[in-house]
Structure 1
């Protein structure tokens, strides 16, 4: 549950070396001069100079300061780096693309990874552009128990092993449930940030198992990150029922539950679902939410969501031509062939026409503007001809494919909701991209208590951007177009983006991890 800590407890003060520099007037490692500094937690919104020493913010001041490197931020916004709670693209390439969208921390929480220790070892050995971390993936742990098929790698796509077995529809026995929970607990012992629960991809799993999973999370004081069981406008098994299940389980177990991509999982029923969630929160149920500013989602064409005789009606009467591959609509024949022959193919499914329909835009906005909800991308990896690009690829090839949210979520949010529509103030918007995501995690993950803030003693994860120029360029037809307007992006005190360009010589990303047992 989000808890606001007193500032003196939330942030350690500047390190002794930094204090000595303040007293002596020595130069800092990096200074950002004359920018509009915004800190969503304290409400600061004023022109200040920012001093960085090592990986921390050492000083905010109106006084002149100097540094070994200097950023002239005149006319620019200086804000906490963005924290993406829902980033499936856990590669160096994906991180660099997201950095150009203002992201300094990209976490894989909805799906998670399994095994956890191997994920952190691999990422640390390879190096990352932005801070990284993950939950433990319940679905992969479950698959391993029910089928004996261990994942090929910690972030192996869940669809790779999901379409050829019945494990998604088979309730686990008591013994199997105990084995699944043991594997989940092993992941928590390895430092996972919580439990990823892809319930919608394993809809036949029993409610007893789901409840027991949250009892475990509550006992370990970690959050869960759930993809709702149902995605449907029709009853029974409607999206509303899926949300009722999540609210009930969180209320009964006391587990902190984060609901993934509220905008897509609610379909067109957000008018029913949002009041229910707000009422539950008002009664102390520990639920948080996130959303991304697009009217289309993306997943594998062979998932359980698109099975059965009535799945199109459940999506509100969707046509197969509403599914696109590489920006092109699928015919009925192409859709059926891919489902049968290549069920792991990633497609984009369009469920709201936010470009042309004001009613659809209003539906999306109810999720985006949910009080104290986070902005999160649900972004993925980058593919060419259906194959994932090597992580060290740069620049991003023009023919690379992904959902445009993988490149443009945060700039699109700022462009459409702050600059163009003016439906939310800049400081409140920046809370949704930085402070609120940090607060969602900070009870379980102490590292997050010094992120999402622009204060003395906070981590030096900082974005410097031109609000008038910030824009998403990625489209469904041409997704491989990074955002513009983010002039400087600093990760752990190291400039990763300088004058709008990625510095490929630095890999400043650090692990976000609970202390392993």
Structure 2
């Protein structure tokens, strides 16, 4: 079998986005898509854009799985062509125009074959949540923003139960802070349920750490890094009372271990003082002073109504060479715990820039301020949905959404929440399908399919190959310098991990709504993780758990 030679199709270049024309959606989308990725971070070698890319020699068959006649899309090399793909074990072993022989053959005629989607921001680390995300095309789900603690217990418990998707987590600064500042709280157990209970306490959210407390916080985080944590999750919006020096020490620790920080910035406020803009300035200054890689979680929701100015600020930092990256999700509503500090105080609505308390919903129903106050007192761990933009109804909101979702080099990341029953209990264990009363934000199973449905099929804002870059490769670029495992993901290339999605582009359909959030997305015909199908012909393969842990190399 002779090798195929592919010609790279480089993206067109631009000197930047004309900020005076941001109100025009088309110009915004094109400007974002055509900015040179080299100005962002982890750019592919210029050789990819200038030379022919020759695939590794095709391994001889027969193969374990052959995917025939699919539209194979690889966002790194620019491949977008009809090819046959051969899989042996966990790896892609051949990509060829020639017929391949395999023990199992998947007919992909008329279907897209692309790298499985990589989610940097998945709070739903339970088995049912992972299964639901498979229908969104996710093959790797990582809990980076909030993180977990202890790290070793999280990995051990997850491996014992098994996962259909690859999994991993950063080290949770908030967990360490709760343990240092709330002596009556039991020790963290590696689960999000433990963190929910912490919202019955307030000291960790609103007070500075003493020198001894800071020492304990940093010690617990460092131990988590030594156990394989994927960076430091700094959920600062939930503990805005922390000190600037504390954040500085976290950035220095991350730099020492060559790991990123993943920050939900401390303020969610469209107006100064204590604005989102100010919070981004704090993050950027730490990248400049420590050299740490500072990643911004959900650029859209943490900017609230001030997305344009915040995006300008972040892009300026990147253009000057700072190690700052970002992510966003294609919804104008976030999800959080009602006891969070960002929803307290007489001015919280003004800070969010929304007209009434009805922009907050619980179980799909708008709330009043009286009900919010009651829940904060009696059920502070309750999950709520908070609208900050309504892009499907308002062109101005749509423009703001596009600015974040199409931010150059950004990854699509879901901020997927764990699923809860009608009584607020996390749904976990070997459960499928999701119970009829399962509640979460619809992005928990429809983030990536919504992005494809809206930005490729409906808006025509990006090409398919650009969408795959945002759904898979960009996340890998963001973390692979610290986590070498990710160099083998987000690509459809010989020798890379066989994490693949096979879907019909025009059939991608999001069914989940805020009122009925647990309706699975449609269109994913096959999802393969480490060479094993977890969805075949649109059906989940129960009992199949090929997911592997993603860990930093410190433990090696």
Shift of 1:384: 1.1
Matching residue of 1:484: 522
1:44 aligned to 2:82? no
Distance in 2 between the 1:146 and 1:332 partners? Answer: 30
Distance in 2 between the 1:186 and 1:289 partners? Answer: 26
Q: Could you report, residue by residue, the CA deviation over 1:309-354 in whole angstroms, capped at 9, with x for unpaired residues?
A: 2111111144111111111111333222111111111011111111
Q: Structure 2 residue aligned with 1:164, among 180, 185, 201?
A: 201
**SS of 2:485 mapped into structure 1:** helix
Q: Could you report, residue by residue, the CA deviation over 1:453-504 in whole angstroms, capped at 9, with x for unpaired residues?
A: 0000000000000000011111000001011001000000000000011000
Shift of 1:2: 3.5
> Are the aligned partners of 1:114 and 1:151 in contact in 2 as well (CA < 8 Å)?
no
Matching residue of 2:551: 513
Matching residue of 1:102: 137
1:259 aligned to 2:310? no
Shift of 1:269: 0.6
Matching residue of 2:112: 77
Which residues in structure 2 correspond to 1:8-87 (within 5 Å)? 21-22=59-60, 26-87=61-122
Q: Structure 2 residue aligned with 1:296, among 333, 348, 351?
A: 333
Matching residue of 2:314: 277
Which residues in structure 2 correspond to 1:302-341 (within 5 Å)? 302-341=339-378
**SS of 2:253 mapped into structure 1:** helix
Moved more, 219-228 or 330-339: 330-339
Q: Normalization by structure 1: what TM-score?
A: 0.95
Q: Could you report, residue by residue, the CA deviation over 1:176-227 in whole angstroms, capped at 9, with x for unpaired residues?
A: 2122111110000000010000111110110000001101111110000000
Distance in 1 between the 2:115 and 2:47 partners? Answer: 18
CA RMSD after TM alignment:
1.8
Matching residue of 2:190: 154
Matching residue of 1:125: 160
Distance in 1 between the 2:181 and 2:188 partners? Answer: 16
* Structure 2: gaps (5+ residues): 1-39
Distance in 1 between the 2:515 and 2:440 partners? Answer: 10
> Are the aligned partners of 1:132 and 1:512 in contact in 2 as well (CA < 8 Å)?
yes
> Are the aligned partners of 1:140 and 1:151 in contact in 2 as well (CA < 8 Å)?
no
Shift of 1:391: 2.7
> Are the aligned partners of 2:181 and 2:203 in contact in 1 as well (CA < 8 Å)?
no
Distance in 2 between the 1:165 and 1:296 partners? Answer: 25
> Are the aligned partners of 1:372 and 1:436 in contact in 2 as well (CA < 8 Å)?
yes
Matched pairs, number: 508
Matching residue of 1:3: 42
Distance in 1 between the 2:44 and 2:551 partners? Answer: 20
> Are the aligned partners of 2:259 and 2:293 in contact in 1 as well (CA < 8 Å)?
yes
**SS of 1:258 mapped into structure 2:** strand
Q: Could you report, residue by residue, the CA deviation over 1:82-127 in whole angstroms, capped at 9, with x for unpaired residues?
A: 0000000001111111001100000000000000000000000000
Q: Could you report, residue by residue, the CA deviation over 1:255-308 in whole angstroms, capped at 9, with x for unpaired residues?
A: 001100011000111111111111100111111100011111111111100112
Q: Normalization by structure 2: what TM-score?
A: 0.89
Matching residue of 1:366: 403
Distance in 1 between the 2:130 and 2:47 partners? Answer: 32
* Structure 1: gaps (5+ residues): none
1:411 aligned to 2:449? yes
> Are the aligned partners of 2:391 and 2:398 in contact in 1 as well (CA < 8 Å)?
yes
1:387 aligned to 2:422? no
